[in-house]
Structure 1
Amino acid sequence: MELRGVRTKLGEFLLGPIDLTVEGGYLVVMGPNGAGKTTLLKVIAGILKAEGSITLDGVEISRLPPEKRNIAYVPQSYALFDNMTVYANIEFGLRMRGIPREERRKAVAEIADRLGIKELLQRTPRQLSGGQRQRVALARALVVRPRLLLLDEPMAGLDPDIKETALPLLRSLPQEYGIPVVHVTHDRDEAYSLGDLVAVMYRGRIVEMGEVEEIFAEPRHAVTARLVGFQILRLEGRCFGVRPEDVVVGSGRIRGRIVQTLRSARGVKILLDIDGQQIWAYADSGRLGDDVEVGLARLVPLEC
């Protein structure tokens, strides 16, 4: 998939211009609330109209209606039909495409078996757990054999134990079904576990894109740094990112004051005030109000 000069306006919000190439694998799109992540997915799916060019497998699709693009879009709500059985939900897209009944039956049975929901086919969505609803939504999307799968916050609202079982399933989709996946989230752990590539959006634009290890270890933009767990610190007129675990309390050339303490699994979590800037660190102990020496084991230069 390739996007060139894609833009649209919704009220006062402007998306784009967006230039983006996805050659395969798993792309995670991150960004703060209101960055335009869901809007981007809807533009790719054809739900929202936009200027610019979108090509998929070398075919220009930007003027095609959603049903002609062969793109599967799973919204955050999953958008299942509560008055229909799981079987009917999964079958729906095939029926709309005029696929013969016996072929539909085989396709539904196969995808339900692969996603472990065969025993749920005669239930309704209201009778399912969050994780089961997620799998039904994926089955409905994948059964039509799309050329691209778009997932909008598919893990939102799931319990932690269900997320743990869902992650391997989602990660396997590009390899097992041979299609690229574009997955929207603001959860950094989810992004790190799933992504081959990460694109970071801010105020309707993509500000940074790269391989997941690169983005998490060496972000270039302050927005990206915050999303992947860095804190922002200005020193000598420059902007840097530093992780809490790289702040050394008790030695160093910087002076700071402890303004808050919290218990954590790693010891005491300390909020330090350094020249009016506040950053978190870990330490064996610390008392509110103490002045301490602070060292910074690793700093990442940023564009702020």
Structure 2
Amino acid sequence: MLELIDFRKSYGSDFHLEIGDLNLEAGIHLILGENGSGKSTLLKAVAGIHPFEGEIVLSGVSISKDPLEYRKLIGFAEAEPLFPDFLSLEDLIQVVVKAKSSSPTQVEDLKETLKIGDFSKQAIGSYSSGMLKKSALLLAFIGDPKLIILDEAFTTLDVGTQQSLTRLIERKSKEGTSFLLTSHQNEPITAFDFSSTISLNQGRIIEHEGA
């Protein structure tokens, strides 16, 4: 499903992330590590946001050879999402729906699942941290991504929305979508049967359990 080949990422001389080669089969994968271990950097590189050295291939599509097609296969919600204050979630949805060839029905289903309601019509500058998180999550699921990347997926969400998100992840996984997750919250992730767990420390994999 996801293949990293000779992967390296550096920030000046202070931080180096070196994964080497990594192959992940379809499923739900958990990435663990302390702050500064490289989790978010890795996820942003796989999402096509950060440049890096090496190669990443998802479902046979290379990010370096076919970057537009690659990014269509990815959904991404970062740990602390930031959007322009003057836009609304509806504005963002229109852009992503067009890029991902999604349907209005899918968007309405996601709004209901994540309990967004009419907040989507308001300016993002008025959103709470929880609503910002829900917005990022909704955008990540739009279209038919082969891989959805959720960095600290459950932070700032109320318990009810955490449970709804858990069910949504499980349902999409059964339909063939794979996930990369990070979380500092133990309780929400106990529901998942992870295909593998990857532990990072100081920019290197120190343990990889599972497929």
TM-score range, shorter chain: 0.7 to 0.9
The residue number in structure 2 matching 1:55 is: 57
Tell me if structure 2 keeps the 8 A contact 1:26–1:183.
Answer: yes
Match of 1:25 among 14, 24, 27: 27
Separation in 1, partners of 2:37, 2:56: 20
Tell me if structure 1 keeps the 8 A contact 2:27–2:177.
Answer: yes
The secondary structure found in structure 2 opposite 1:209 is: strand
The secondary structure found in structure 2 opposite 1:121 is: helix
| Cα deviation, residue 166, structure 1 | 0.9
**1:80-108 CA deviation, whole Å, 9 max, x = no partner?**
3321222222222123x285xxx754443
Highest relative contact order (Cα 8 Å, sep 6+), 1 or 2? 2
Separation in 2, partners of 1:87, 1:118: 11
- The number of aligned residues is 204
**1:261-299 CA deviation, whole Å, 9 max, x = no partner?**
xxxxxxxxxxxxxxxxxxxxxxxxxxxxxxxxxxxxxxx
TM-score where L is the length of structure 1? 0.58
**1:180-238 CA deviation, whole Å, 9 max, x = no partner?**
11112344445544461321001111111225xxxxxxxxxxxxxxxxxxxxxxxxxxx
Separation in 2, partners of 1:170, 1:19: 30
In structure 2, the gaps of 5 or more residues are none
Tell me if structure 1 keeps the 8 A contact 2:32–2:200.
Answer: yes
CA RMSD, 1 decimal: 2.8
Separation in 1, partners of 2:105, 2:161: 26
- 2:11 maps to a residue whose letter is L
Deviates more, 1:196-205 or 1:72-81: 72-81
The residue number in structure 2 matching 1:149 is: 148
Separation in 1, partners of 2:136, 2:49: 18
The residue number in structure 2 matching 1:86 is: 89
Separation in 1, partners of 2:115, 2:24: 29
The residue number in structure 1 matching 2:165 is: 169
Separation in 2, partners of 1:18, 1:164: 39
In our comparison, the structure showing a higher alpha carbon Rg is: 1
The residue number in structure 1 matching 2:77 is: 74
Higher helix share: 2
Q: 1:17 to 1:105 in 2, by over 3 A?
A: closer
Separation in 2, partners of 1:64, 1:187: 36
Q: Does 1:179 align with 2:177?
A: yes
